[in-house]
């Protein structure tokens, strides 16, 4: 039932970066604590993400291992080559849906479990949600994820969406609820009550902006209802201790103030390149730069600093920024990005 997303969504936490060794250790700790289903990487983002995903699959740490990508064939191929199951997300603007449908069909022929996220369902009408779900199901997805991507949902709306989809389609449903307004755990449990088959969580509720539903909270609340998630709460505490130490080392204690819902500054900071590229959807304007950084984010940072590089140099700078973030296990500062850009100039 519970899908842990700490290795992937957690890496989108403002100020946080992992080395390869840290990511592999975290995967082992999660497995030892009873996590059976995990989303672990974004292989097309960087070679380190491909490598760690492949190592996790080969180690057999989880019964079901997923990695994430866009609904484009190149991302699907990268996911498939890691040996993992396939998780895809829609573009944040609902455009070129014929190409999206073709990509889902292409992925469905790979013979792996295929889940597809229809992003930002809170801002879709019921008809749009049903139409998009129908498209995903008819294209061959085994799981449709219905995420509250911007964290603006409430339990009544989440419950309504999940019930409508579950009553209309023979497909597994997954909920993924962000915490911008503090409702991630309540919304996640509402999704479960409405019939969701899978629910996404992370250690400490880490993730993009101020994160998603907290793993220990959700598992403990389900336990009070007599539901065995297979998670050992005592061992999960060890994972929490590990993550807290990483945060204190890499970000500092102020993180726990900045990560508050509603008022915390993390609610206005994006890490993933796909999020930063849609600044009209994800408001706030702040960025945190690590291996999930994209070209749009780096281009904006350089232009804001008065540097407008030729397009052919931008991919090389982005790759160097990603390499440095993975090697050091730290986010890359704006000053450092500007120095890297000067080297290429």
Three-state secondary structure along 127-149? HHHHHHHHHHHHCCCCEEEEEEC
Query: Taking the domains of the chain in order of start, what are their residue ranges?
Result: 2-250, 264-344
Give pLDDT, residue 271.
84
What is this structure's pTM?
A: 0.93
Here the tokens at position 4 are: 């842990």
Alpha-carbon torsion, ordered 66, 68, 71, 74, to 10 deg: -100
Alpha-carbon torsion, ordered 27, 30, 34, 35, to 10 deg: -70
CATH superfamily of 2-250: Aldolase class I (3.20.20.70)
The position carrying tokens 């993933």 is 272
The position carrying tokens 């850009």 is 341
Q: Can you tell me the distance from the alpha carbon of 51 to that of 37, in angstroms, rounded to the nearest whole number? A: 19
Strands, E assignment, 171-240? 172-177, 198-201
Coil, helix or strand at residue 163: helix
Q: Which of 97, 76, 98 is nearest to 85 (CA)?
A: 76
pLDDT in tens, 235-287: 999 999 999 999 999 999 999 999 999 999 999 998 865 544 434 433 445 88
Give pLDDT, residue 270.
85
What's the start-to-end Cα distance of the chain, in Å? 50
What residues in the chain have per-residue pLDDT under 70?
Answer: 272-285
């Amino acid at each position: 039932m519970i899908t842990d997303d700490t290795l992937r969504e957690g890496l989108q936490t403002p100020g946080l970066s992992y080395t390869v060794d840290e990511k592999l250790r975290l995967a082992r700790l999660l497995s030892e604590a009873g996590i059976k289903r995990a989303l672990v990487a974004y292989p097309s983002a960087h070679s380190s993400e491909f490598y760690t995903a492949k190592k996790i699959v080969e180690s057999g740490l989880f019964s079901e291992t997923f990695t994430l990508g866009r609904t484009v064939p190149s991302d699907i191929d990268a996911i498939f080559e890691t040996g993992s199951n396939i998780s895809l997300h829609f573009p944040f603007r609902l455009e070129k849906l014929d190409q999206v449908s073709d990509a889902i069909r292409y992925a469905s022929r790979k013979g792996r479990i295929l889940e597809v996220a229809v992003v930002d369902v809170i801002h879709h009408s019921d008809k749009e949600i049903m139409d998009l779900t129908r498209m995903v199901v008819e294209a061959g997805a085994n799981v449709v994820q219905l995420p509250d991507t911007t964290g603006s949902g409430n339990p009544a709306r989440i419950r309504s969406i999940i019930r409508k989809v579950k009553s209309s389609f023979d497909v597994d449903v997954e909920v993924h609820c962000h915490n911008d307004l503090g409702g991630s755990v309540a919304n996640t449990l509402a999704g479960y009550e409405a019939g969701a088959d899978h629910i996404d969580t992370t250690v400490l509720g880490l993730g993009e902006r101020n994160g998603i539903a907290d793993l220990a909270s959700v598992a403990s609340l389900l336990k009070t209802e007599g539901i065995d998630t297979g998670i050992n709460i005592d061992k999960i505490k060890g994972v929490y201790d590990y993550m807290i130490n990483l945060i204190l080392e890499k970000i500092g204690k102020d993180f726990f103030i900045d990560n508050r819902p509603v008022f915390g500054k993390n609610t206005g900071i994006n890490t993933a390149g796909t999020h930063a590229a849609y600044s009209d959807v994800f408001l706030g304007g702040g960025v945190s730069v690590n291996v999930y950084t994209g070209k749009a984010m780096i281009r904006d940072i350089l232009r804001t600093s008065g540097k407008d590089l030729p397009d052919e140099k931008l991919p090389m700078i982005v790759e160097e920024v990603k390499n440095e973030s993975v090697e050091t296990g730290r986010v890359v500062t704006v000053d450092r990005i500007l120095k890297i850009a000067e080297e290429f100039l």
